[in-house]
């Protein structure tokens, strides 16, 4: 009875919250009557299907008859070519699916049963056929329904029998309404298998997603961000390499940079972080500049608020499956800070969702708990550490204490604390009896564990040595490593930092390492892995990079100045368009208030060869009356004018102000030709900008006819 009442109240809320939405299919009154019928009093006990609990079965008993009826009507209307009846049947099925997804607690199970039933009753085959109908509205609506039902088994079906249909839809890139559904379909299909992702990319699906990344539709951008994250996470190394070749890391920048939608930014950050975890392409990902956005963005979010925003989305409110969450573990256990931050945050969000479902044990089952504890114990980054602590607390797990990083100086009591936190409390007495301190701990071998410390089980020793390797990798060696061998080893491979103490104890420094032999590294420095020894020797014999302490680094080709409130989206698009054409571009990701950052920003303007000024709506309003030059855009313009930079204004919904309303030191900016940005014809606009950057000022549009003529005389 309680469940029925809860279900009734939830459906009532959903009915009133969506009945006025304009972004919905038209639903007949029949479905509303069906919903009222579901909320009646409890009936006699019914037989429950194997694997389905009673609450789920109760909902299915009232939903499935309506679903079967709607599918039969869809078949009949297709055979009779009745477009209106086809659309009504699609709308009924759509609402049944949507309402299932948003049910509290049992929503995922109910929705998956309904989605699978659509396939088993022939509805999925019908939807794929309807994608090829000449009736555009039916194509749109059937694609929207298809996007909603792509659970695992349905993805299998589409991958086997309908992928060609989906790929044909991706070729209609200019159809904005169709893009809203097709991008969502690709979001699901890119998490199917590596083979499916490969097939999608080789037939243009990734190109379509990257094309849509230039747009402004939040729904399409959200689907694109998630699809790219799925491609990176589930597509394997081959697909990740293709993403780099097609410059996906660069096109993720506008998505991660935008202030419009946190879900878009989050999944764009997740995608680029997963790509950076692949060491084969890590340098190219770093070069894109997108990775710099990840840690500050994650630090600005609150996991509970983010989880609440997911609860408002039918696609996300049930959270991720165990299989999905396991893909986060390589980020948690990896070497990049961005990966640890975003994975720990993701687990905080999922814990918030799973706690409502009373299913937090899932995190222990997938091995996430130990990874989070390692971050708390060893990470020096405040964001990653705080998120890991929060996730563990929400899971009901014990939060370990931070381990003091200067391991070589540990006393026996600190060794005891470490043993307890990594799960070896049973050996504390023996370690204490033998007075094992930090120095001895860093030198312990498998033989020592077996003969002196009583670890008789081989697997126990292996587990201990694995935890010891982690400790060695994160340890602070500053008190005994004057030549900073630790950082040099980390540059060769982050895992090699574990060998620092052995090298330092043997008296090895950066200069002498190149004269060592393989035998010396193995016997004297205790590096047992032959492949690791070969890599260290190879790196040591490469010539040292020249150090030009007095030389200024080369300046960027282009500095982009913009007003963050209205111009960040265009500024980020300009950055990527120029970057993929070989230009080096500087764009500040956060305008800080003062200090060293201010000096660095001004120096970047001074060193840049070109200065692009994004004039978006009200971009110069804060400059008016700014006699003290406190506004950032004002400072950047004055610096560019003083440095006689090649200034290129790019306007977008911008109204040119009265020159006398601006401070005198920046008025001359109004004398420069402006290029009007066209979102529909981006390539053509970029070609104009390129000609301007190369000194060709022909075909450049002024703010209006008279001003344009005046400016042409002065430029």
Count the Cβ atoms, other than its own, within 10 Å of residue 631. Answer: 20
CB 265, CB 258: distance < 8 Å:
yes
Q: Which two tokens stand for residue 514?
A: 């190149």
Cβ(502)–Cβ(525) below 8 Å: yes
Instruction: Answer yes or no: are the C-beta atoms of 214 and 250 closer than 8 Å.
Output: no
Start-end of H helices in 357-395: 361-365, 368-378, 382-395
Number of H helices, E strands in the chain: 39, 5
For residue 20 the two structure tokens come to: 């006025």
Burial class (CB in 10 A: 0-12, 13-18, 19+), 530: exposed
Quote the distance between the C-alpha of residue 9 and its chain's center.
35
First to last CA, the chain: 79
CA distances, 387 to each of 267, 291, 483, 557 (Å)? 18, 19, 33, 38
- Gap between the Cα atoms of 502 and 512, Å rounded: 14
Any idea which residue has 């400059």 for tokens? Answer: 623
CA distances from 122 to 31, 67, 118, 161, 486 (A): 21, 12, 6, 13, 62
Judge whether 470 and 441 are in contact, CB under 8 Å.
Answer: no
DSSP 154-222: HHHHIIIIIHHHHHHHHT-TT-HHHHHHHHHHHHHHTTS-HHHHHHHHHTTHHHHHHHHTTS--HHHHH
**Phi (first) and psi of residue 454, to 5 degrees:** 75, 20
**Cα separation, 443 vs 78, whole angstroms:** 75
What residues are paired with 614 via a beta bridge?
Answer: 650
Whose structure tokens read 């679903």?
A: 67
Catalytic residue of the set 137, 262, 636, 680 = 636
Instruction: Indicate if 636 belongs to the active site.
Output: yes
Task: Give me the active site residues, please.
Answer: 636
């Amino acid at each position: 009875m309680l469940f029925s009442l809860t279900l009734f109240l939830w459906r009532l809320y959903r009915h009133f919250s969506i009945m006025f939405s304009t972004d919905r299919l038209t639903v007949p009154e029949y479905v509303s009557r069906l919903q009222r019928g579901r909320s009646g009093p409890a009936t006699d006990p019914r037989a429950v299907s194997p694997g389905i609990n009673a609450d789920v079965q109760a909902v299915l008993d009232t939903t499935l008859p309506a679903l079967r009826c709607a599918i039969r009507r869809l078949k009949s209307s297709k055979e009779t070519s009745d477009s209106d009846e086809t659309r009504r049947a699609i709308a009924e099925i759509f609402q049944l699916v949507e309402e299932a997804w948003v049910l509290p607690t049992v929503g995922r199970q109910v929705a998956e049963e309904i989605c699978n039933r659509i396939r088993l009753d022939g509805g999925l085959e019908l939807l794929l056929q309807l994608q090829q109908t000449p009736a555009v509205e039916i194509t749109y609506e059937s694609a929207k329904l298809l996007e909603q039902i792509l659970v695992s088994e349905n993805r299998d079906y589409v991958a086997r029998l309908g992928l060609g249909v989906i790929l044909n839809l991706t070729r209609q890139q200019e159809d904005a309404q169709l893009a809203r559904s097709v991008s969502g379909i690709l979001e699901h299909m890119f998490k199917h298998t590596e083979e499916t992702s490969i097939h999608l990319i080789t037939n243009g699906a990734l190109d379509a997603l990257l094309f849509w990344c230039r747009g402004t539709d939040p729904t399409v951008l959200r689907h694109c961000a998630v699809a790219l994250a799925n491609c990176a996470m589930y597509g394997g190394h081959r697909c990740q390499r293709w993403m780099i070749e097609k410059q996906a890391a660069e096109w993720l920048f506008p998505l991660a940079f935008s202030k419009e939608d946190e879900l878009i930014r989050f999944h764009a950050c997740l995608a680029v972080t997963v790509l950076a975890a692949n060491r084969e392409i890590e340098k190219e990902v770093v070069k894109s500049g997108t990775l710099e956005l990840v840690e500050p963005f994650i630090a600005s979010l609150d996991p509970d608020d983010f989880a609440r925003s997911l609860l408002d989305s039918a696609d996300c409110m049930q959270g991720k499956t165990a299989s999905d969450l396991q893909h986060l573990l390589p980020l948690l256990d990896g070497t990049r800070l961005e990966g640890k931050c975003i994975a720990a945050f993701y687990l905080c969000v999922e814990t918030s969702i799973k706690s409502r479902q009373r299913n937090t044990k899932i995190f222990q089952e997938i091995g996430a708990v130990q990874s989070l504890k390692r971050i708390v114990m060893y990470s020096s980054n405040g964001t990653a550490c705080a998120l890991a602590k929060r996730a563990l607390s929400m899971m009901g797990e014990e939060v370990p204490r931070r381990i003091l990083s200067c391991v070589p100086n540990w006393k026996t009591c600190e060794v005891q604390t470490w043993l307890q936190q990594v799960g070896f409390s049973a050996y504390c007495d023996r370690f204490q009896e033998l007075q094992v301190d930090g120095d001895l701990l860093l030198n312990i071998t498998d033989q020592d564990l077996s003969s002196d410390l009583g670890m008789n089980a081989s697997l126990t020793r292996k587990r201990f040595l694995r935890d010891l390797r982690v400790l060695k990798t994160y340890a602070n060696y500053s008190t005994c490593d004057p030549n900073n061998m630790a950082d040099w080893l980390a540059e060769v491979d982050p895992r090699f930092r574990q060998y620092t103490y052995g090298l330092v104890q043997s008296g090895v420094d950066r200069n002498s390492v190149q004269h060592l032999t393989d035998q010396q590294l193995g016997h004297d420095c205790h590096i047992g892995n032959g492949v690791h020894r070969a890599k260290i020797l190879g790196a040591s014999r490469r010539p040292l990079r020249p150090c030009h302490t007095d030389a200024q680094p080369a300046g960027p080709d282009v500095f982009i100045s913009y007003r963050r409130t209205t111009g960040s989206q265009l500024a980020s698009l300009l950055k990527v368009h120029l970057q993929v054409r070989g230009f080096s571009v500087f764009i500040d990701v956060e305008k800080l208030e003062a200090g060293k950052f201010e000096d660095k920003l001004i120096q970047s303007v001074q060193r840049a060869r070109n200065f692009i000024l994004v004039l978006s709506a009200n971009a110069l309003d804060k400059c008016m009356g700014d006699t003290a030059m406190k506004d950032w855009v004002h400072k950047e313009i004055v610096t560019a004018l003083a440095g006689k930079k090649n200034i290129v204004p790019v306007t977008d919904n911008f109204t040119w102000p009265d020159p006398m309303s601006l401070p005198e030191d920046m008025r001359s900016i109004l004398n420069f030709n402006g290029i009007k940005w066209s979102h529909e014809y981006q390539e053509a606009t970029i070609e104009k900008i390129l000609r301007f950057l190369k000194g060709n000022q022909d075909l450049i549009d002024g703010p209006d006819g008279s001003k344009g003529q005046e400016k042409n005389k002065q430029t």
